[in-house]
Structure 1
Amino acid sequence: MSPRPQQAVTLGELLAQPMKVDLNHLCVASDARAVRGVVLVSDIDEITSIEPDTIIVLSADVARGSWMVSAALRYAWERNACALIVPDRALNPSVTQLAERFQISLFTTAAEITLAAIEVATAVGMARAQLVSSLHRLTSRVGSSEDITEVLEFASVWLQGAPVELESSGAVVRSAMGTTNRPDVPNNIHTLPSRVSVRVGRGTKSHGLLVANVPASLRDHAASVLEICASKLRTLIAEEQFHALQQSLPPISIAALAESNARLPQHPGDPGWPAWPSGTSFVTLCLLSDHADRYGAALHHLWLAAFRDWPLVRAADGWLAFVPVDDTDLGALVAKVHGRLAEIHLLNLQVGVSLEHYGDAEVRPAIREAWLAARVAEAGKPHAIVSYDEIPARFLPRLLPPSFAEETLHSLYPALASDEHRDELIHLYTCYAAHLGSATDTAAHLGIHRNTVKLRLERLADLGVPVSDPTETLGIHMLFAALPGGTTGKSPGVRLAPPA
């Protein structure tokens, strides 16, 4: 196993250290250039074996003239060295121009060259020690944090304001960008952003990554910063998941929907049992995805970041959320969900929102309404979120199960549902639609007068059924035909009472 390379410092950090020798700057290619070590060269051939990001110090014998320094610069460029230090003597201007072309910093010193090499090596060690001390301070700050976004902000500050993102299944679910006093520097190969990432979860199957885009010279430092933050994030994410599970226990009791064998506590009144809004108004959100298993982690992190107090429950083909609306404007709520989920449109979610309900007894119909609305929603399009009362009737034929038709009738046409002649009216409309809107053919089929057909159609319109809208005809026909007795005029069984 090869030894781990020394952590790099930047050339700017090195030059900021106090030294007993003076370095004259003939060319400073980039303060952001990474520095890993210092090598004193007494034979020019030794340059061919040095490691990248090294400062080369030429002895007086090697740097005997401009042509030798030029040759050393070429070798240094081939080995990706970062700087060259030579004894103080007159150099041809072409040497400086060559250093600028190769983007290698060039310094001269009047001090004895061995002493200069020792001082520079000591300065590298001091700069590296300051980095270690900075990482210790970061560990202390992160260790006392209880917020995921705050941890990301710490990481960004320690990386000079670079953006830091928490990714899950390829989607960015949290991000932060701290402030920095670092001056703007011209772009070059050493300052262009480079992606650095570490795993947040345990094991190779983890889909969570902590990512930063930093200059190439900061890659080592960024990896150390991200590792420190990732360790804390594992704990915070686990706590969030546990909190979400605890808050979701009451909804999970609908085991058939969650496809779970969850066993609830024997005594729900015990301390710690999460409060379920049994005495409040609420709406249910249903989130569907064709890749629920793949994108579950990403959605979980995003949901907790935006809607921490609303439990999210895993269901058979998606997720359910129960949202109290006593003090919440429903339109603003839907807008907030739409705006937040739009940021990760790649998850292709279909979101349905139920009507407003009250109490535990209405949980099941609320779920069914949200599920139906989600089936209508178009993933990845402007209508990715649909409220139940926005479902166009023309979508009902492919979505409405017969067992749900009665409840849908009460929701869409409550006046008709409570009318004592509803069965006759519904049966007439199904016949009318089947005969392509011919009152004469409908009357002949039912054995009634043509004027009776017109009167019943007018009665349907008075009860809120848009019988004159051709775009709604097919949907209404299929809804009425799905009702018990819709095609016979007789409704068997017990009729559901309209919602209060």
Structure 2
Amino acid sequence: MKEPGQARAAAQTFGVEASIEEQAIMKEAGVQEPGMQEPGMKEPSVQNPGVREAGVRRPAAKASVQGVAAAAGRSPAGSRSAPHQQPVREAQQSPQHNPRQRPQQAPQQAPQQAPQRGARAVLGPPPARTEAVTWGELLRSKPMEGVDVPVQVGLDRTVSKVRLVSDLDEMQACRPGTLVVLQTPIASAAWTVEIAVRYAWERNARAVIAQTDGHAAQAVQRLAERLSVSVGFHRSDPTELALELSALVARPGAVRSALIARCAVLLSETTSVPQVLSLLQRELPGTAISLRGSSQRVIAGDASPVSAQAVRVPLAPLDVEPGRVLLAVPSHRSVAWNQVLTQVLQIARSQIIACEAAERVDVAARHERDGFALSRLLADPCDPAPATALGWPLDGDLVAALVLPRDESLRGAAAVGLALRTAWNAEPVGAPPAPYAGGWALWSALTPRADAEDARPGGAESSPRAAVPAAERNGLADGLRDARGEHTSEDSIEDTDEEDARAQAVMAVLARAERLVQRADVGVDLHVGLGRLCQGEGALAQTLEQAAIAARAAASTGQQAQQFSELGSRGIVAANDAAHLHRIAQDALEVLLAVDDRDELVRTLLAYFDCAGSTMRAAERLGVHRNTVSGRMERIRRLGVALDDPERALELHLLCHVAVTGGMTT
């Protein structure tokens, strides 16, 4: 039979439960061994079910057999002990006789003891395993900076280990996912590297890194492309490279943290949104990066379709344009890689907002400078130095356009001007939009044809004749001959070319202004007015005034664009103060504006004057019957409007324009 001291020593050493004999002693003393319970008693509830399911015993102190036996007045063997035998037992059970035995402890201190050796004290589920590093992540690590990898395949596949190979026979022991670093002497010879690449293809190795260069490297590269095996070349110590890569493979978290830090440093050096997106596309392998609007419209970057594993980082709340997001579409599904993408995009978000803010400040400064230079040029045309320093076209025939908001409260608004200036940067032709007359003016110059063409920079190529293609000039000349039935002289053709080139220059400025409005997309109604082609001193001021009048006329009628040359009498109305004209029209047309069908009567009267008193032509313009127009005109006469007074005909004609364009009839 095993001695009590030996049983206790074995129990404490191997973490097993007390023997049956010791349990009886504890039960008699009223002390219960952990895991023991009286018959009929319910087992106490376990607060951590995971511990019990895993077979982990709750940490509880075990009362020493000696203390229990002493409390019961019995020896561990079950018999009463004599008083003279107690010191002998204590001496035998002292730490000097049994080194593995723990010191005795009172039963009331048992709950404070540490868990027994051998019992697992791990609580809860085991920690999650870190995802292995991918080949694409490893490519962006610091040790790979000196490695040229012309063939990159399987960037989303993991790297299981790094193997330093000095003999081709060792390639047969490579497992799938191994990154092979070739060592001398097989790292430099082309034929040995090619064999290693073939072995890597057979063993599904992740990549092969060698020291081959020159023509030998080109042959290896062609083979690697054909077999779809990643291959790289370096000139550093292969042993040191393998050790550094092996350390990174063993710590995937360090690789990802280094990638995030690298992206943060590189992003801080970017100055524009395209640079930010290009950097992210380069540093995040196998991922499509784009900046998108609220309706998934691609603003910049890759236009790949959005997948379920796409990572979205909104630019709000710092973004001035609501709904924009940075979108990353990875080529593989990975929780760890998505976390890296999220952190990098969050850093890039701040940089994008900073770049756009810097661009807005720069655009605002240039906008203010352009406005000052234009006002100074118009005030003193004899001093064009500030405008010339900005590269503005001032020589030759000038034609201007003015962009004007329909809402008078938005005229001259800085936000609209900045949007137009930003849109102009995409097509910087002619002068940039500068503040003028509540809108934004832009113009171009058409160098006039002179006798001394060779004296101008560029010679004859800069003339209006050169602006029209030769085939178009020949076709125009043939058309003139056929229309007139006679031979057209070369001088007549030259004059026609001159006029055609001038007309093309005017229409080119109008088309450029309309494209500018479309690109700006500011969300408000913008109208364009176009002036005539002017020349000589004060040409810029003259064409700008005409463009401003045409723009006000277009805004009053709701037209997208209006040329000054097509205004007619409406130009007189648009050139004057609208508030004063409205008061005059209210007094002169009071009888017409007081009736319920005033809109029909005023528009009929306006068409009657526009058609030189012809009721038939007025009916065609209005889309009604001739008798309807005649009846309306008769009613206008009965209301007291003097239609036959020639002195009032022009006044009524102009004031009808004011009433219709000013919305006084609705």
The TM-score range, normalised by the shorter chain, is 0.3 to 0.5
For the pair shown, the structure with the greater C-alpha radius of gyration is 2
State the TM-score, normalizing by the size of structure 2.
0.35
State the structure with bigger RCO (CA 8 A, min sep 6), 1 or 2.
1
State the TM-score, normalizing by the size of structure 1.
0.44
Structure with higher strand content:
1
